[in-house]
Every structure is written in structure tokens, then in C-alpha cells.
A = this chain, B = another copy of it.
Amino acid sequence: MRTPDDRQPLPEQAASATPEQTLIARRRRLLGPNMSTFYDQPLHIVRGDGVWLWDADGRKYLDCYNNVPHVGHCNPRVVQAICEQAATLNTHTRYLHEGILDYVERLTATFDAPLDTALLTCTGSEANDVALRMASAMTGKSGLIATDATYHGNTTAVAKLSASNRSPHGASDHIRWVPAPDSYRPLGGEAGQAHADAFAEAVGTAIADLEASGHGFSALIVCPHFVNEGFPSLPPGWLQPTLAKVRAVGGVFIADEVQPGFGRLGSHMWGHQRQQIAPDIVTLGKPMANGHPVGGVVTRAEIMTAFRESYRYFNTFGGNPVSCAAAMAVLEEIEQQGLMANALEVGAYAKQGLEQLAAHHQVIGDVRGQGLIFGAEMVLDRQTKHPASAYTDRLINAMRQRGIILSKLGRHKNALKIRPPMPFQRAHVDLLIETLDAAMRETPVEQD
């Protein structure tokens, strides 16, 4: 049942195709259409080391984007841990093994009581998929609340949480979306406490709506730093009124720490700690094992027990000795290399650099950042705050051509998304800011 398209000559067969065109054509043939790549001219990366990546032509790029290689590309401690354990034993958790126990003990020690048990998965998506069932097991209800600009993963159950990714088939009427916080354009036009209260009110309204719908309210799931929403500048404690709304009705608060966790914010190991809130469930993913597929859920014993008693759950690869060795090496590296202190100091330096750039570039409407998640929102007019979305796209492509890898995000796709590997240094910030200055000088704003 070949489609006619399959009979057309593929560019990869053309003598004139560049190596990249050949790869793109092979991707389309082998992986199907709509497999996204970054940049107008996709990168063909072949090697990584620390905060650097190299393409097939030997060109070097400063990686200001990838948060998965948390302790640096090809971190020697992580690579050694993987090699040694892969050569010794890799099996499942139905045998006893110290690796998972030592890791979970060390991991949960970074959380505040009573978050002292963990379940290990292979991805953050699997972790959030489990977290939703834990909430169901606790509450006996199914209604969920998330922000309207979030992403929590790719399983059937979790993908439904993305308002922009609604299923073409199958109802999601157990989900309510609340407006994502936005410190640059706050709800009701007011920042600070009024903004926090407005968000909590929106959550309260959604709770009441779910309770009236028959689904009941099970859980609110949010990234406590709202990274996908554009990491708005929210003061510590901003989420406390929201947590109170959830607690008041016996709901479950799930903090998705896939992005802000593992010390990236510099000031705290976990985003919810900076927010001075105690979530019921915390989910982990991307940076957990530096790219080796590991995710996890941390919760209190009461919730873990409710889940284990309500659902049979076994994950063949989850918590295997190699994955645990890789994840343990990441925790060790964060501690021994002082990567949290580095994130705090270098992140503040980077934010300062962006603020200095804003003095010369009117297109920068807002500079935001905390630790090694930072960026700037681009606007056509600082008064109207009209998003410079097309400009931002041109700028990140110009940066790619100049050897700097970064991306964009936010509701209007007009915020620079900068979240480099944690060993990022001041010298890297200098190169980033200098290159950004040069690229901005040569990228016309008026095309928007």
C-alpha cells in the first residue's frame, strides 16, 4: 500500500544533494514526515564535550540550549559509571540490587520531608503518567488542572494536558486549563501579590468547575518555575495561595521538576523549594542521568502506598543498575563540581549581560532569569509589548550561523530560551552576549 509519493525520486538519490539534504531525505523516508529539526538549516551534530558541540564539518558550537546533558556533554564521571555498570550487570528490579536503593536514598535526601520514596521510570513522560495515577489513587477522582501553555510529556494520558496538542479523537473533558502566569503581561495587569492571587483564583474556579462536572478534582500539575510558559519572574512564595486552594479541597499538587530541578535554579535543588511550597508529588526527567533514559516520581510513603495498592505497576527498564549508576554520577557531579553555586553566580552574570544588551537594543522588552534558565522577551514596541516573534526566529537562526545554539519559547515564541549545561562559565556568557549583540545588530527588526 505505497503512496504515490514513495515512487518519486528522493533527494538523497540526487547527485547534487548536500550531505544534510541526504540526511533530511533519509529521515523523511525512514522516520516519516513532521519529524521536527531545529533551525532553517538543521544541525548535523557528531560530537559533544562539556558545553561544546561539533558538527560533521568540524565546526564548534557553544551549547546554550541543552539541559539534558546537565553536567556537560559526555561528562567523564557519567560515561565511566555507565561503562562500568553496563559491563558488570544490567537487569530489572525484581532482583535485589543496591544501585537503586543507594540512588533513591541520595535523591530523596535532597527533598524536604515527607517526600522520601521514589519510583523510577525511563522518561519524564512516564513519570508524569504515573503521577496522575498516584493522584487518582489518593483522591478517587480524575479531574486535572494545568496551564494553557504547558507541556508535561508524550504519553496518551499526559499529552492531553497540552492545550495546544489536543487529541483529535478521545475526549479530554476531565482537564481544565488556567491562564499561564506571565510576569511581563500579568493577569489583570498587576504584578506581585495580585498576580499570585489571580492565578490562585483561576485554579479555584477550575476546581469548582471540575467538582461540579462529575469528574471531581484530582490534581493540579505545574512546573514550579513555569519554564515552558516562558519562566516568568515570580517571587518566592508566589505559588503559596495556589497550593492553599488545592489543599483546601483535598487535591493533589504535582510539581513537574523536569526542567527547573537538579539545581538548575542555583539557589535551590528544586523549583518548588524556591517557591517555598511542599508539593505532594514531584516528577523528574531530562537532566536526571545526563541523557541516559531515566525519569522518576518522588512522593511521600502514603501516596506511594495508595498507588501501589490501587495499580499494579512494573517498569522493565526502570531503576536498572546502569540507569541508577548514571543518575548517581549526575548527583555526585552536581555536588563535587559545585554546579549549583556555579549556576547561581554564572546565571546572575548572564542576566546582567542581557540587561546591558537591553540598554542598546530596544527590541528586548524584558530580561528574565534565575540560575541557568534565562532569556529575554523580544517586542516590536516596549509600550504595546507586541511580540517580535518572527524577529526572534531570525535571531536564533543567525546565532546558529555564528556558532551559538539557543532557542525560543513562550506563548508568542518570542522569548530567547537559554538553559545551557550546568558547567557553563563566565567566559561562555561573554561569548554568548558578544555574539548576541553582533547578531542583533545585523538582524533587522522591521521585517516583523
Partner-B contacts on A (CB < 8 A) = 1-3, 5-6, 20, 23-24, 26-27, 29-38, 42-48, 53, 66, 68-69, 73-74, 78-79, 82-83, 86-98, 100-101, 104-105, 108, 113-114, 116-119, 122-126, 129, 132-133, 136-137, 140-142, 154-157, 159, 162, 164-165, 167-170, 285-286, 290-293, 300-302, 304-305, 307-317, 320, 322-323
Q: Within the complex, what minimum Cβ distance (angstroms) separates A23 from chain B?
A: 4
A69/B45 in contact, CB under 8 A? no
Copies of this chain, how many?
A: 2
Q: Is the CB of A129 within 8 A of B104?
A: no
Partner of A314, one of B48, B116, B154, B312: B154
27 contacts between A and B (CB under 8 A): A1-B114, A1-B302, A2-B114, A24-B96, A34-B305, A34-B308, A36-B314, A44-B95, A45-B95, A45-B96, A48-B91, A53-B91, A68-B91, A68-B317, A73-B91, A74-B88, A78-B86, A79-B83, A82-B82, A123-B316, A136-B167, A136-B168, A140-B169, A164-B312, A168-B311, A292-B317, A293-B320
Closest residue of chain B to A1 (Cβ to Cβ) is B114
- Cβ–Cβ < 8 Å partners of A165 in chain B: 311-312
Do B74 and A89 touch (CB < 8 A)? yes
A96 and B129 CA atoms in complex are apart in Å by 29
Q: Please name the residue on chain B nearest to A82 by beta carbon.
A: B86
Q: Nearest Cβ in chain B — how far from A407, in angstroms? A: 9
Complex CA distance for A133 and B302, rounded to whole angstroms: 33
Taking A37-B96, A48-B89, A165-B311 as known contacts, 11 extra A-B pairs with beta carbons closer than 8 A to each other, sorted by chain A number, are: A3-B301, A5-B301, A29-B116, A30-B105, A32-B119, A34-B308, A43-B95, A66-B91, A136-B168, A157-B157, A165-B312
Contact A23:B98 (CB < 8 A) given known A32-B304, A133-B156: yes
State A86–B34 Cα separation when bound (angstroms): 27
> Nearest chain-B residue to A323 (Cβ)?
B293
B residues less than 8 Å from A104 (CB atoms): 30-31
Q: Which residues of B contact A159 (CB under 8 A)?
A: 311-313
**Which 10 A-B pairs rank lowest in CB-CB distance, beginning with the nearest?**
A32-B304, A156-B157, A34-B308, A293-B317, A90-B291, A44-B96, A83-B83, A293-B293, A122-B122, A122-B293
Expressed in whole angstroms, the minimum distance between the Cβ of A51 and any Cβ of chain B is 13
- Chain B residues with Cβ under 8 A from A32's Cβ? 117, 119, 301, 304-305, 307-308
Which of B86, B93, B164 is A74 in contact with, Cβ under 8 Å? B86
Give CA–CA (A1, B2) in the complex, Å.
60
Q: Is the CB of B119 within 8 A of A90?
A: no
A311 touches B30 (CB 8 A): no
A136 near B69: Cβ-Cβ < 8 Å: no
With both chains docked as a complex, state the minimum distance between the C-beta of A242 and any C-beta of chain B, in angstroms: 20
A25 to B161, CA, bound (A): 37
Contact between chains at A302 and B35 (CB < 8 Å): no
Contacts of A293 in B (CB 8 A): 122, 293, 317, 320, 323
In the complex, chain B residues whose CB is within 8 Å of the CB of A317:
68, 122-123, 291-293
A45: chain B residues at CB < 8 Å are 89, 91, 95-97
Q: Knowing A114-B1, A293-B323, A302-B3 touch, does A47 contact B88 (C-beta < 8 A)?
A: yes
> B154 touching A315 by the CB < 8 A rule?
yes
Return the contact of A308 from the options B33, B105, B304 (Cβ within 8 A). Answer: B33
Q: What's the minimum C-beta distance from A344 to chain B, rounded to whole angstroms?
A: 26
* Complex interface: chain B residues within 8 A of A170 (CB): 136, 142
